[in-house]
Amino acid sequence: MRQLDELQSLIANAVSDLKFPEYPAELYEPIKYILALGGKRMRPALLLMACDLFGGDVNAALPPALAIEVFHNFTLMHDDIMDNAPKRRGKTTVHAKWNNNVAILSGDVMLIEGYKLMMQVRGNILRTVLDIFNDTAVGVCEGQQLDMTFETINDISITEYINMIRLKTAVVLGGALKIGALIGYADDQDADLLADFGVNLGIAFQLQDDILDVYGDPEKFGKQVGGDIISNKKTYLLIKAQELADSETAANLSRWLTATGFNATEKVAAVTDIYNHVNVRQYAEAEMRTYAEKSFAALEKIKLPEENKQYLREFADGLLVREF
């Protein structure tokens, strides 16, 4: 089995070899620009990994893996407009460097280019692969819409939140793994199980991200601790804390959520105190474990040699514990 870093560098090379027309420059330059910003290329690497684990030809899986990466970058290009984000991976975002219209239209072309790449599979799985890609793509858009909607409303349930992160973050991992498995000649049942593994792992990973924002080691986490608290981001911790809080604690939390002109460090400390007071961390970790266990349970049922399953287990363990 190929190691993750080997798969990632296969993708990195294939991304830099991708060819787009020169004309019209305003349409294709932004595509080259965002794809060159780098990133861990985790989603396409998962597609290759799935193909490899079932004994398939990794080179045959490269175009669909690139499709997943191009699709992912299309969502980033449009999300950055919607979030009004000035930076992406430390560089100016496309809409800020060019303008919104360029970012809209270049993004549209990237989605189409994603389909062109995804179609480069053998004929007998073409329809199935595209069905998965369609469902994945719609799911990601639904997740992005829910994420934006949730920022404007206050009574989101944990069920709704988990559904949102499943759509926005997790389905694309499941979709990439399932497509890779099918290219590697997995049967439908194994492909579904691997998708299940990916989706549940993705949810667990996002819940971990929510926990790390508050309780992570800032040096290992690589982000500002408390960033979600400062921006009032609707995370598992915030939603669950609101649910668990008695009326006095809820009022206190609400004051911090509506405060303006606050001291950031003070707000992070105060909201963390509230989180600790209602023991929200233990709920979040239990929820995360639930999804990790679902993920591992799906993995157990896959008809693969123990060695291959162990590879996936270690991959998942690496994702889920490395940053605490």
Question: Can you tell me the distance from the alpha carbon of 303 to that of 308, in angstroms, rounded to the nearest whole number?
Answer: 10
Using CB under 8 A as the binding rule, whether residue 109 contacts its own copies is answered as yes
Q: Which residues does 76 contact at the CB level (< 8 Å), separation at least 6?
A: 34, 88
Say whether residue 104 binds its own copies (CB under 8 A). yes
Are the C-beta atoms of 54 and 60 separated by less than 8 Å?
Answer: no
Nearest distance in Å: CB 148, its own copies = 6
Piece of 34-42, 141-149, 206-214, 307-315 that binds its own copies (CB under 8 A): 141-149
**Per CB under 8 A, does 111 bind its own copies?**
yes
**Which pairs count as long-range contacts for 207-211, CB under 8 Å and 24+ apart, including other chains?**
207/165, 207/236, 207/284, 207/287, 207/288, 207/291, 208/288, 208/320, 208/323, 210/235, 210/236, 210/237, 210/284, 211/236, 211/237, 211/281, 211/284, 211/285, 211/288
Options 36, 82, 269, 286; binder of its own copies; rule CB under 8 A: 82
Q: Does 112 bind its own copies (CB under 8 A)?
A: yes
Contacts with its own copies, 223-242, as mask; x by CB under 8 A: --------------------
Q: Of 18, 85, 105, 230, which lies in the binding site for its own copies, with binding defined by CB under 8 A?
A: 105
User: Minimum distance from CB of 290 to its own copies (Å)?
Assistant: 24
For 322, phi then psi, to 5°, come to -60, -25
Out of 12, 37, 130, 225, the only residue in the binding site for its own copies (CB under 8 A) is: 130
End-to-end distance of the chain based on CA atoms, in angstroms?
Answer: 28
How far is CA 225 from each of CA 172, 213, 218, 230, 324, rounded to the nearest angstrom? 27, 5, 6, 9, 12
Whole-angstrom Cα distance, residue 313 to residue 321? 12
Query: Which of the ranges 112-120, 188-196, 291-299, 310-318 carries the binding residues for its own copies, by CB under 8 A?
Result: 112-120
Residue found under tokens 């669950």: 240
Of 55-63, 99-107, 196-204, 293-301, which part binds its own copies (CB under 8 A)? 99-107
Q: Which amino acid is at 95?
A: H
Question: Is residue 144 part of the contact set for its own copies (CB under 8 A)?
Answer: yes
**Burial (CB count within 10 angstroms: exposed 0-12, middle 13-18, buried 19+), residue 306:** exposed
With binding defined as CB under 8 A, does residue 123 bind its own copies? Answer: yes
Q: How far is the CB of 227 from its own copies (least distance, A)?
A: 22
Residue 113 binds its own copies (CB under 8 A)? yes
The binder of its own copies chosen from 2, 92, 96, 115 (CB under 8 A): 115
**Interacting residue ranges for its own copies, rule: CB under 8 A:** 24, 26-27, 78, 81-82, 100-101, 104-105, 107-109, 111-113, 115-116, 119, 123, 126-127, 130-131, 134, 137-138, 141-142, 144-146, 148-149
